[in-house]
């Protein structure tokens, strides 16, 4: 029902109230929930660690870190040098390198006849060892002409081309060995074309496309060293006010609802409403229904009046059970749904049921029921206030980090490789599916329907801008870690790895210790970068 007010997604607020109801009662110390996944380049691969962590059957907490950490750390790529050194060719391979958009490199490779002949001889030797040619003992020398007739000239040619590719590919890629993204390497020349070239010239030519680690350009150069950050803090909700609201919520949970029979709606009541709305025609246009504003059996707590469309509560005050009221309202310009902003609407509300709360007196006898372990209302308030202050501080830290990361994204230019974009997008989509699965308990058929290539591609297209921003953010943070030569505490690393392994064991889940270590290192490194940025940035807090 779209009469509920939704905050703008572009405004940063350090507001603890949003989390109070869901997090105040149960906040596991090992729970970590972060909005975006991280990526890091290692061994030519994009390694991703999910930052939305829970203790479900598929997702696990790696660290006991605050909500607001966004880690990433660049790790050195391995190269093809070892393979090149191990297999020296009889002649040099000619490689022409052409830079293309999206951090992609095209390598045109020309393999000389000497290398092709050497590969051919090796293939023939292998066939002689393994082929069981009638009239010849296994492993004995077989005349080449007879072997070709028995094995097939076409098969030998295909095996030779495969041998040439296998041996020359490391040499061809040596120029990008420090930056190639492994899963992106593609030989784009058709097999039929390579066979034709080889058979006609006894040489081979083929083209490779490979994505490389993108270069990060800071505008201005080293601009991250002089960040000026403005963080807006919501002045409406303080820890004290959040504490009062939470105490009120807990108190209401101990009461019961009674039917109102002799009066109309008052603040504090709960009403069951049927709501409909139509647009008020402007400039001669016809009135139309507003489907998103319709609701049947809407349970409306009048104490949440600030959460609904401005003017809605005032317009239904005094309504009695069975009564219908009609009134005009205007959707504010800040409304979540852009198509409703500024719209004049006529609402019709029917009150189906009306209840008041019968609450027990708020005294020390309720303390333990409100918050187990407390013996007085003062203790309840003190405990709630302390938790609200902690949430307020965490929210402020999160808002600060969000503002810093938002600024970083605006300061970097990155030519993002397609393979990196697709991998990051698939990771985000996978995390989304896990959330859906956890909340809706989908069966295998439903989950499969959401995992089709078409569904993934639609997500990549729809979320393109967000995926790009995530990659820019992570690469920027990783680049800072490298540029500033930041170091991690070995003691902290060892301790957090052990904590993570203990969690896996506690929930009897399998784990890869090396992978756990890598992810812990990524998280700690990202936290280190944000810590460094907070120390060096000019941060101003304003109340909104």
Provide the β-strand partners of residue 278: 289, 346
Residue 339 DSSP label: G
CA 38 to chain centre: 7
Report, as an integer, the average pLDDT of 198-222: 94
> What pLDDT shows up at residue 7?
43
Each domain of the chain, given as residue ranges in start order, spans 17-76+220-235+378-543, 81-212, 256-358
129: number of Cβ within 10 Å: 10
Q: For residue 433, what are the contacts with CB-CB under 8 A and spacing of at least 6?
A: 447, 450, 451
Closest CA to 186 of 414, 415, 418, 416: 418
> What pLDDT shows up at residue 5?
59
Cut 0.75: pTM above it? no
Report, as an integer, the average pLDDT of 298-302: 94
Place of tokens 């270069």: 215
Closest CA to 414 of 355, 476, 463: 476
Angle ∠(263,267,268) on CA atoms, nearest 5: 95
297-302 LR contacts (CB < 8 Å, sep 24+): 297/272, 297/273, 297/352, 298/1, 298/272, 298/273, 298/274, 299/270, 299/271, 299/272, 300/270, 300/271, 300/272, 300/273, 301/270, 302/265, 302/266, 302/267, 302/268, 302/269, 302/270, 302/271
Report, as an integer, the average pLDDT of 465-491: 93
User: What does the radius of gyration of the chain's CA atoms come to, in whole angstroms?
Assistant: 33
Residue 34 has pLDDT above 80, yes or no: no
Q: Pick the residue with more confidence: 5 or 409?
A: 409
Residue 44 has pLDDT above 60, yes or no: no
Report, as an integer, the average pLDDT of 415-434: 90
Q: Which band of pLDDT confidence, cut at 50, 70 and 90, is reported for residue 438? A: confident
Report, as an integer, the average pLDDT of 61-72: 27
Q: Which band of pLDDT confidence, cut at 50, 70 and 90, is reported for residue 67? A: very low
Residue 404 has pLDDT above 90, yes or no: yes
- Could you list the beta-strand ranges (E) of 15-148: 38-42, 45-49, 94-100, 104-111
Least reliable range by pLDDT among 49-53, 164-168, 182-186, 336-340: 49-53
CA 16 to chain centre: 23
Q: For residue 431, what are the contacts with CB-CB under 8 A and spacing of at least 6?
A: 37, 50, 52
> What pLDDT shows up at residue 178?
81
Q: For domain 81-212, which architecture applies?
A: 2-Layer Sandwich (3.30)
294: number of Cβ within 10 Å: 17
Residue 368 has pLDDT above 50, yes or no: yes
Distance in angstroms (rounded) separating the CA atoms of residues 238 and 14: 9
Residue 522 has pLDDT above 90, yes or no: no
Closest CA to 27 of 61, 50, 59, 58: 61
Q: Which band of pLDDT confidence, cut at 50, 70 and 90, is reported for residue 294? A: very high
Place of tokens 């239904």: 316
When the pLDDT of each residue in the chain is averaged and rounded to a whole number, the result is: 82
| Contact indicator for 59, 432 with CB cutoff of 8 Å | no
> What pLDDT shows up at residue 432?
87
Distance in angstroms (rounded) separating the CA atoms of residues 302 and 327: 18
Least reliable range by pLDDT among 187-196, 256-265, 299-308: 299-308
> What pLDDT shows up at residue 144?
82
> What pLDDT shows up at residue 285?
62
Report, as an integer, the average pLDDT of 521-525: 88
| Contact indicator for 163, 125 with CB cutoff of 8 Å | no
Strands 344-358 and 270-279: antiparallel
> What pLDDT shows up at residue 156?
92
Residue 168 has pLDDT above 80, yes or no: yes
> What pLDDT shows up at residue 139?
62
Joined tokens for residue 315: 């317009």
> What pLDDT shows up at residue 48?
26
Angle between helices 490-506 and 513-536 in degrees, nearest 10: 130
CA distances from 134 to 125, 151, 493 (A): 17, 12, 64
Q: Which fold has domain 256-358?
A: Chitinase A; domain 3 (3.10.50)
Q: Which band of pLDDT confidence, cut at 50, 70 and 90, is reported for residue 503? A: confident
> What pLDDT shows up at residue 158?
94
| Contact indicator for 536, 227 with CB cutoff of 8 Å | yes
Residues 354-364: tens digit of each pLDDT: 999 999 999 99
Report, as an integer, the average pLDDT of 196-216: 94
């Amino acid at each position: 029902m779209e009469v509920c007010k939704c905050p703008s997604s572009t405004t940063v607020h350090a507001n603890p109230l949003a989390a109070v109801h869901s997090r105040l009662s149960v906040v596991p110390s090992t729970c970590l929930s972060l909005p975006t996944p991280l990526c890091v380049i290692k061994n030519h691969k994009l390694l991703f660690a999910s930052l939305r962590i829970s203790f479900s059957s598929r997702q696990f907490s790696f660290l006991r870190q605050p909500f607001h950490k966004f880690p990433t750390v660049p790790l050195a790529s391995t190269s093809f040098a070892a393979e090149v050194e191990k297999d020296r060719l009889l002649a040099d391979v000619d490689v022409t390198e052409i830079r293309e958009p999206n951090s992609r490199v095209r390598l045109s490779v020309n393999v000389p006849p000497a290398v092709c002949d050497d590969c051919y001889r090796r293939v023939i030797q292998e066939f002689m060892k393994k082929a069981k040619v009638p009239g010849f003992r296994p492993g004995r020398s077989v005349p080449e002409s007879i072997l070709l007739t028995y094995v097939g000239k076409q098969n030998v040619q295909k095996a030779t081309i495969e041998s040439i590719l296998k041996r020359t590919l490391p040499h061809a890629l040596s120029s990008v060995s420090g930056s190639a993204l492994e899963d992106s390497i593609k030989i784009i020349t058709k097999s039929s074309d390579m066979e034709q070239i080889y058979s006609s010239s006894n040489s081979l030519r083929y083209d490779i496309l490979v994505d490389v680690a993108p270069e990060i350009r800071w505008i201005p150069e080293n601009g991250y060293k002089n960040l000026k950050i403005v963080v807006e803090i919501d002045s409406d909700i303080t820890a004290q006010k959040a504490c009062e609201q939470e105490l009120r919520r807990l108190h209401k949970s101990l009461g019961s609802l009674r039917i109102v029979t002799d009066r109309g709606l008052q603040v504090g009541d709960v009403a069951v409403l049927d709501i409909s709305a139509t647009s008020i025609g402007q400039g001669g246009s016809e009135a139309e229904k507003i489907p998103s504003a319709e609701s049947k059996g809407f349970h409306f707590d009048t104490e949440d009046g600030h959460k609904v469309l401005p003017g809605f509560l005032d317009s239904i005050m005094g309504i009695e059970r069975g009564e219908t009221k009609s009134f005009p309202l205007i959707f504010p310009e800040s409304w979540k749904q852009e198509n409703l902003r500024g719209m004049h609407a006529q609402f019709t509300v029917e009150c189906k049921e009306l209840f008041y709360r019968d609450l027990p007196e708020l005294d020390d006898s309720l303390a333990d029921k409100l918050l187990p372990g407390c013996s007085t209302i003062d203790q309840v308030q003190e405990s709630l206030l302390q938790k609200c202050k902690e949430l307020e501080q965490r929210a402020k830290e999160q808002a600060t980090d969000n503002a810093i990361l938002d600024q970083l994204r605006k300061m970097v230019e990155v030519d993002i490789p397609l393979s990196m974009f697709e991998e990051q997008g698939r990771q985000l989509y996978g995390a989304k599916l896990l959330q859906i699965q956890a909340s809706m308990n989908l069966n295998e058929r439903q989950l499969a329907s959401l995992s089709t290539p078409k569904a993934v591609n639609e997500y990549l297209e729809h979320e393109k801008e967000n995926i790009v921003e995530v990659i820019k953010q992570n690469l920027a943070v990783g680049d800072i870690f490298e540029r500033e030569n930041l170091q991690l505490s070995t003691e902290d690393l060892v301790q957090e790895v052990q904590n993570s392994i203990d969690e896996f064991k506690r929930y009897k889940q399998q784990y890869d210790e090396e992978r756990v270590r890598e992810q812990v290192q990524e998280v700690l490194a990202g936290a280190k970068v944000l810590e460094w940025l907070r120390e060096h940035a000019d941060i101003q807090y304003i109340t909104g």
